[in-house]
Structure 1
Amino acid sequence: MEDLVIMKNKQAVTSSLQVADTFGKRHDHVADSIDSLKKDVPNFGEMFIETNLPDSYGRNRRGYYMNRDGFTLLAMGFTGSKALQFKLQYIDAFNEMEQQVKFQVPSTLPEALRLAADQAEKISVLQPKADYTDKMLANPGLETTSVIAKNYGYSTREFNKLLHGLGIQYKQGKTWLLYAKYQDQGYTHVEPYGYTNSDGIEMVRNTMKWTQKGQEFLYSFLKSKGILPRIEQTA
């Protein structure tokens, strides 16, 4: 099977042929469903691009490329447990592809030189200590997301959104939890803590903390995306 999501004109997209194949539908029916959206969706052209797509026999068929928003709008009508499984696979595929866009190689020499200069300046100002990573990952205790976020130069909110965008965690109520494929790996520990709200009422809320193994996972995963700790060098 071809990739669910591909890059086209610097945007993550999928095709109506791929959607039809994945969800087990006739392609002409999928194309008709997209056509039916035209009259009710003012920004239809921002989500769908009509084109010719070769079928399995190499014959061109009228079809569409669609971005994440277009796919989401189209897939709303696909129901059933199997359809839900395919939707989740598409979400993961879009997340992965869109993150790759952020770290793609510059397309022009001036852009590459500018990025290299920016990176050199960041390194000279924010060069971490040589042994920082070893010390961070050698901590056997639990660590909060806010502390890890600070090590990377993010606010807690920004870092949580980053991990969500990378498909690592999701929010349930007010608690961040790992997606299923990262659960039961010993990466995190959820524990309750008490606090007093603005009305003076004692409350209990769960919070997720990262184990040493989880911190090592985060470091390796983020490093693979070009994201490294930003700790100023100290004596």
Structure 2
Amino acid sequence: MTQLVFIHEGQAVTDSLTVAKVFGKDHDHVMRDIRQQLNKLQEAGEAEWGVSNFGETQYQHHQNRQWYPKFDMTEDAFAIVAMSYTTPEAMKMKVKFLAEFKRMRQQLQAAAVDTSQLSPILQLLIQQEQQQQAIIERQDATDKRVAVIQETILQRDDDWRDKLNGMLNGAARRSGGVFRDLRTRSYEMLESRAKCDLNRRLRNLRDRLQETGATKTKIAEANRLDVIEADPKLKEIYTTIIKELSIGTLT
């Protein structure tokens, strides 16, 4: 069973991945809903509340091992996002989420320790432990950001691209077609064969580049070939497709 609510930095939270899974929604759509609410909060002059209740972080995809953005949400933040989910099944899920938030709050209250009655030495030890934990958490956050930056640096294999473009150009000449049309067809074949959405992956790549401080030019120049090259499986399938298209024009 999916854990709906968990403890993070002494607070009961859920996250956008959990919401997407439980409500049967695409994670990109949940992220879109959250960003819309953050924009509305900013317009209402409540941007600080949004920062306090929505925490943007990253998660590592279990298949391609790349890092993607997600949001942690407090109970109030969850309520704002989920209020638009109004189907009967969604209402059941919201009740379960809120019940779990309540249970987690009670668990935190029960675990709370009044350190004011402890000896000064014990209070100092607890304070040092809390400071050390905070340092570890900040370092983890830094490590994740570095990993995201490394993942989003576009490593382009010019030799691979030149070979593919050469085969596509040759195929276009032999078939009397247009290079651009043949490129589009190759992308469509890849999406069908690999069961992927290149445009969505490209949007995700550009979002990650923006989050890591890339220039507008670099973001704009990112393309579907960058998406394909970043995924070894897609790169292998796409190379096969280009070869098939090239060979098909020889007969």
Larger radius of gyration: 2
The interval holding the TM-score normalised by the smaller chain is 0.3 to 0.5
Superposition TM-score, scaled by structure 1 size: 0.44
Q: Which has the higher helix share?
A: 2
Superposition TM-score, scaled by structure 2 size: 0.42
